[in-house]
Structure 1
Amino acid sequence: MTEKLWGGRFDEDITPDVLDYTLTTDVDVRLIFADLWQDIAHVLMLGRQEIIPGETARAVLRSLLRLWEEHERGELKLRPELEDVHFNIEQMVIEDLGRETGGHMHTARSRNDQVSTDARMYLRRVHVNAVAANLALIDVLLSFPEDDLLAILPGYTHSQAAQPVSVGFWKTAHASMLLRDVRRLRGAFDRADESPLGACALAGTSFPLDRELTARLLGFRSVLSHALDATSARDYLMESAAAFAIGGSNLSRMAEEIVMWSGHEYSLVEVSDAYATGSSIMPQKKNPVVAELARGRAGRTAGTLVQLLTMAKGITLGYSCDLQDDKPYLWDAIDTYLSTLRVFTGQAKGLRFDSKRGEDLCWDNFSTATELANHFVAEHGIAFREAHHITGSLVGALLKRGATLRDTKAGAEILTGLGHPVAESVLAHILAPRTALTSYTSPGGTSPHSVEAVRAELREAVEDHTAWLDRTRRGLDSALSDTLRAAREIVDGGDFAEVLERATAGLPPVTRS
């Protein structure tokens, strides 16, 4: 008979190849904290509900607390031959106490609800860290000097120069985009913050569990009521992967602008030396490698989402080992996304924009033509479509002469010939990139006043998200410390009911979902 914890009906053990193919210990290392915390909460509940004898529960808790301290010191190691984190910890307790005592720990629980609970607990930490990393990058983008309100860049549509914008306008645009990523991460946190513990394999159990108690001890907002859904659900993983993929894509878009604009043909921005490398053969090169890698690694976060969607689409309700393959890909997406956020925050601090070059490009690329059309509408009473046609005719005529809007003398002559004269001095003022930039005073526009108003709105949103971040971190920390404190008090002889009533008094109630 095999000595595996599940091996009662088996006459022979799995082969080394099968073990190597199915084990997850290398992936499960991240879940040790969650599995131990969950084990402690579960045993506290088993003792409180008198599902296992009180002294047995105390002995198991004492063993689990020793393992927690070992983990805190970085000394707890998983053994591959024990397949996963769950069997590792259970086996450690059994080796410490014997099967007659340690074997009670898994009462009224399955690896099916156990793994989902661990993954949700880990994802909560990830989402909190991702929100914090986004807010750090957003803070850098919003902390620009007043000069950036008038530092000119060409704005682009269709990858062609469109209208003048400012550096501050560009930075607030990316900050606005990243704040949506924060909202997505918070939404994904909410869907992960539901406790499946107590659903067991798929159908619940005949034991009198208190699922609300374990949910509160683990810091969950709610209990995922339906046992089959609780053990089958992986949409919370897909939603998290979608948040990472969209966030990676948004960072990639910023990276693309940095890469493109740092090229000699644009020369609009330069990254600091610390975020670039040189060429092995061309001594003149300065390559924006961080931004380039961010573009490429966005594919890894997107690929994880596709992998999870494909993995889950053909699986019926109830656990299947296909679902075991979710974590290796998701862990990689998490690491890729968080590392990109961190390195981008440092890169953003050192970006140097060339406003003079930006202004020259705006002149040369006819970026202010729209303002002349608007002038005809506002000052001459011409319908916009006609004003658009007149201005387009001016641009075409200048191009044939090899001139740009900077040649205001030629422009005034052409407009007179078109029957819509504008004094050269007026034309020079209308077509100046700075005039255009400061005149877009509509809400959300490029004028310094409009950009400052948006920056204030974004900062207010950052404050709200920061408050949520602080509350959430305190809540999770409090749940963990209260669980550990309760376990220690009970190990020292405290009454289960009295200790747990005190421990949960400060924890918020849970809902059912």
Structure 2
Amino acid sequence: MTDKLWGGRFDEDITSEVLDYTLTTDIDVRLIFADLWQDIAHVLMLGKRGIIPADNARAILGALLRLWEKHERGELALRPELEDVHFNIEQMVIEDLGRETGGHMHTARSRNDQVSTDTRMYLRRVQLDAVAANLALVDVLLSFPEEELLAILPGYTHSQAAQPVSVAFWKTAHASMLLRDVRRLRGAFDRTDESALGACALAGTSFPLDRELTARLLGFRGVLSHALDATSARDYLIETASAFAIGGNNLSRMAEEIVMWSGHEYSLVEVSDAYATGSSIMPQKKNPVVAELTRGRAGRTAGTLVQLLTMAKGVTLGYSCDLQDDKPYLWNAIDTYLSTLRIVAGQTKELRFDSARGEHLCWDNFSTATELANYLVAEHGLPFRETHHITGSLVGALIKRGATLRDTKAGAEILAELGHPVEESVLARIFAPRTAVTSYTSPGGTSPQSVEAVRAELRQTAQGHAGWLERTRDKLGTAQAATFRAAREIAAGADFAKVLDTVAADLPALEQR
């Protein structure tokens, strides 16, 4: 008979090759905190309900608390021959207390509901960290100095110069995108923050569990009520990966602009030396490597989403080992996304924009031509479709002369020939990029007052998210502290029901949905 914890039915052990192929201990290191917290909550519930003898439960709690202290010191190592974090912790308890006592810990539980609960607990932390990192980058983007309200950049459509904008307008646009990423992460958190513990393998159990108690001890907002769904669901992982992939794409779009605009042909922005590297052969080079890697690593987060969708689509309800392949890819996406958010925040603080160069490009690229069309509508009473045609004719004629909108004398002559004379002084005013930027006073437009209004709105939204983040972290911290306080008191001999009834006041209530 094999000596594995599951080995009663088997005559021989798995080979070393099978163990290497199936073990997850290297991946499960991130779940140690969650597994120990979950074990403690489970044993507290077992003891209170009388499912296992109180003395055994107390002894197990004491062993788990010792393991937690060892983990806190960085001394708890998982043994690969024990396959995963769940068997490792259980075996450590059994080695401490003996099978007669420690063997009670896994009563009314399966690795199926364990792994789902552990992963949800870890993902909650990650999702909150991602919200915090996004909010930090949003704060950098919204903390622009007043002069950037009129620091001119060409705006682009179809990768062609379109209309002039300001640096502040560009920064608030990216902040607006990132705050949608925060909303997506909060939505994923909401679907993650449900306890699977007590679903067991897939069908529940005949033991009288209190799933609401363990959910509260673990800080969950609710219980996944259907046991088969609780152990089968991986949509919360896929939704999280989707939020990472979309967030990675948004960071990549910002990075693409920085890479493009920092090139000599644009010369609109300079990346700090601290976020660039040189060439091994060309001494003149300054390469925006952080922005380039931000752009490239968006592929990792997108790839993880595709991997998880592919993994889950062919698996029937009920646990299959296909599902253990979710974490290696997701862990990589987590590390990529969080590190990218943090380094992009640092890079963004140090960006230096060249407003004079931006204004020059706006003149040369006819970026304010729309302002003539708008002027002819407002001042001459012409329909916009006709003024669009007139302005297009002006641009075409200037190009043939090798001139730009800066050549207001030529512009006035051409418009007179077209039968729509406009004074040169008026053309000089309406074609000036700064005039265009300041005149777009519609909500969400480029004018300083419009941008300031959007900044105030985005700051208020960010503050709301920051408040939610603080409350949620406090809730999880409170639940963990209450769980461990109860475990220490009961391990020392206190009554299960009395202690748990007392700490219940500190535990978050479950949401009714």
Judge same fold: TM > 0.5, yes or no. yes
Separation in 2, partners of 1:323, 1:512: 30
| Aligned position for 1:368 | 368
Separation in 1, partners of 2:461, 2:354: 30
Q: CA contact under 8 A between 2:437 and 2:447: conserved in structure 1?
A: yes
Separation in 2, partners of 1:32, 1:125: 13
Separation in 2, partners of 1:471, 1:118: 21
Separation in 2, partners of 1:323, 1:496: 36
Deviations 1:84-142 (A, max 9, x none): 00000000000000111100000000000000000000000000000000000000000
Kindly indicate whether residue 191 of structure 2 is the aligned counterpart of residue 191 of structure 1: yes
Separation in 2, partners of 1:495, 1:438: 71
Specify the SS of the correspondent of 1:358: helix
Separation in 1, partners of 2:136, 2:429: 40
In the TM superposition, what are the counterparts of 1:72-111 in structure 2 within 5 Å?
72-111=72-111
| Aligned position for 2:230 | 230
Deviations 1:293-347 (A, max 9, x none): 0110000000000000000001110000000000000000000000000100100
Specify the SS of the correspondent of 2:220: coil
Separation in 2, partners of 1:415, 1:112: 76
| Aligned position for 1:460 | 460
| Aligned position for 1:112 | 112
Give the partner amino acid of 1:273: D
Specify the SS of the correspondent of 2:265: coil
Shift of 1:188: 0.3
Shift of 1:512: 6.1
Separation in 1, partners of 2:131, 2:509: 25
In the TM superposition, what are the counterparts of 1:312-461 in structure 2 within 5 Å?
312-461=312-461
| Aligned position for 2:30 | 30
Separation in 2, partners of 1:354, 1:276: 18
Separation in 1, partners of 2:377, 2:511: 59
Q: CA contact under 8 A between 1:259 and 1:288: conserved in structure 2?
A: yes
Specify the SS of the correspondent of 2:156: strand
| Aligned position for 1:302 | 302
> TM-score normalized by structure 1?
1.00
Separation in 1, partners of 2:225, 2:67: 30
Give the partner amino acid of 1:448: P
Give the partner amino acid of 1:197: L
| Aligned position for 1:252 | 252
| Aligned position for 1:212 | 212
Give the partner amino acid of 1:222: G
Specify the SS of the correspondent of 1:201: coil
Separation in 2, partners of 1:465, 1:297: 26
Separation in 1, partners of 2:104, 2:385: 80
Q: CA contact under 8 A between 1:154 and 1:359: conserved in structure 2?
A: yes
Kindly indicate whether residue 506 of structure 2 is the aligned counterpart of residue 506 of structure 1: yes
Specify the SS of the correspondent of 1:128: helix
Gaps of 5+ in 1: none
Specify the SS of the correspondent of 1:243: helix
Specify the SS of the correspondent of 2:259: helix
Give the partner amino acid of 1:241: A
| Aligned position for 2:285 | 285
Specify the SS of the correspondent of 1:13: coil
Separation in 2, partners of 1:145, 1:213: 51
Q: CA contact under 8 A between 2:202 and 2:228: conserved in structure 1?
A: yes
Give the partner amino acid of 1:354: D
Q: CA contact under 8 A between 1:256 and 1:291: conserved in structure 2?
A: yes
Shift of 1:454: 0.1
Separation in 2, partners of 1:46, 1:176: 48
Q: CA contact under 8 A between 1:199 and 1:228: conserved in structure 2?
A: yes
Separation in 2, partners of 1:504, 1:336: 38
Separation in 1, partners of 2:223, 2:175: 35
Separation in 2, partners of 1:503, 1:43: 16
Shift of 1:44: 0.2
| Aligned position for 1:151 | 151
Separation in 1, partners of 2:475, 2:300: 32
Shift of 1:511: 3.6
Specify the SS of the correspondent of 1:257: helix
| Aligned position for 1:5 | 5
Separation in 1, partners of 2:392, 2:143: 39
User: CA RMSD for the aligned pairs?
Assistant: 0.6
Shift of 1:508: 2.1
Kindly indicate whether residue 486 of structure 2 is the aligned counterpart of residue 486 of structure 1: yes
Separation in 2, partners of 1:102, 1:388: 82
Give the partner amino acid of 1:484: F
Q: Report sequence identity in percent.
A: 84
Give the partner amino acid of 1:70: K
Q: CA contact under 8 A between 2:479 and 2:508: conserved in structure 1?
A: no
Give the partner amino acid of 1:129: D
Give the partner amino acid of 2:320: S
Specify the SS of the correspondent of 2:405: coil
| Aligned position for 1:131 | 131
Give the partner amino acid of 1:386: E
Separation in 1, partners of 2:277, 2:104: 58
Separation in 2, partners of 1:97, 1:280: 61
Separation in 1, partners of 2:246, 2:13: 44
Q: CA contact under 8 A between 1:255 and 1:295: conserved in structure 2?
A: yes
Deviations 1:219-266 (A, max 9, x none): 000000000000000000000000000000000000000000000000
Separation in 1, partners of 2:6, 2:371: 75
Give the partner amino acid of 1:42: H
Q: CA contact under 8 A between 2:151 and 2:168: conserved in structure 1?
A: yes
Q: CA contact under 8 A between 1:25 and 1:79: conserved in structure 2?
A: yes
Separation in 1, partners of 2:4, 2:403: 82
Give the partner amino acid of 1:459: R
Separation in 2, partners of 1:179, 1:42: 37
Deviations 1:10-69 (A, max 9, x none): 000000000000000000000000000000000000000000000000000000000000
